[in-house]
Amino acid sequence: EAGVAQSPRYKIIEKRQSVAFWCNPISGHATLYWYQQILGQGPKLLIQFQNNGVVDDSQLPKDRFSAERLKGVDSTLKIQPAKLEDSAVYLCASSSLAGDTDTQYFGPGTRLTVL
């Protein structure tokens, strides 16, 4: 079974530039998550999709961050414009929500550096 795919793996941009990250979840997983992990901290949930609908985006800075999952499969997270404090690893995860076997599977992450 293929895992969660993310691209790019690394990205360096200057502040005020825009950047986009892509995620393809495990086949058949209805739920997709985007997390931000700042160095030394635990992952923070930015947005959770169930199929192509948003379940929770309460911690998404909506003035600069946006995300979509148009066909209920892959997803894109965008930052526009980026700030220095956006430097972090952006993790995508997916889960099937199959009762007691709920497990989030994480992708390798995208490391963003904002200069």
Partner 1 sequence: QKEVEQNSGPLSVPEGAIASLNCTYSDRGSQSFFWYRQYSGKSPELIMSIYSNGDKEDGRFTAQLNKASQYVSLLIRDSQPSDSATYLCAGGRNNFNKFYFGSGTKLNVKP
Phi first, then psi: give them for residue 100, nearest 5 degrees. Answer: -70, -10
Q: Using the structure block, give the residue that is written with the tokens 């148009």.
A: 70
Neighbouring CB atoms inside 10 A of 58's CB total 9
Report yes or no: 78 and 19 within 8 Å, Cβ to Cβ.
yes
Report yes or no: 84 and 113 within 8 Å, Cβ to Cβ.
no
Question: Should residue 107 be labelled a site residue for partner 1 when binding is judged by CB under 8 A?
Answer: yes
Shortest distance in whole angstroms from residue 81 CB to partner 1: 27
Q: Which long-range contacts (CB under 8 A, 24 or more apart) does 64-70 make?
A: 67/34, 69/32
Shortest distance in whole angstroms from residue 26 CB to partner 1: 13
Q: Which stretch binds partner 1 (CB under 8 A): 16-24, 65-73, 75-83, 97-105?
A: 97-105
- 30 vs 81 by CB, closer to partner 1: 30
Residues 25-84 that bind partner 1 (CB under 8 A): 31, 33, 35, 40-45, 48, 55-56
- 20 vs 105 by CB, closer to partner 1: 105
Q: Which one of residues 12, 84, 97, 98 is an interface residue with partner 1 (CB under 8 A)?
A: 97
Three-class secondary structure of residue 37 per DSSP: strand
Question: Should residue 109 be labelled a site residue for partner 1 when binding is judged by CB under 8 A?
Answer: yes
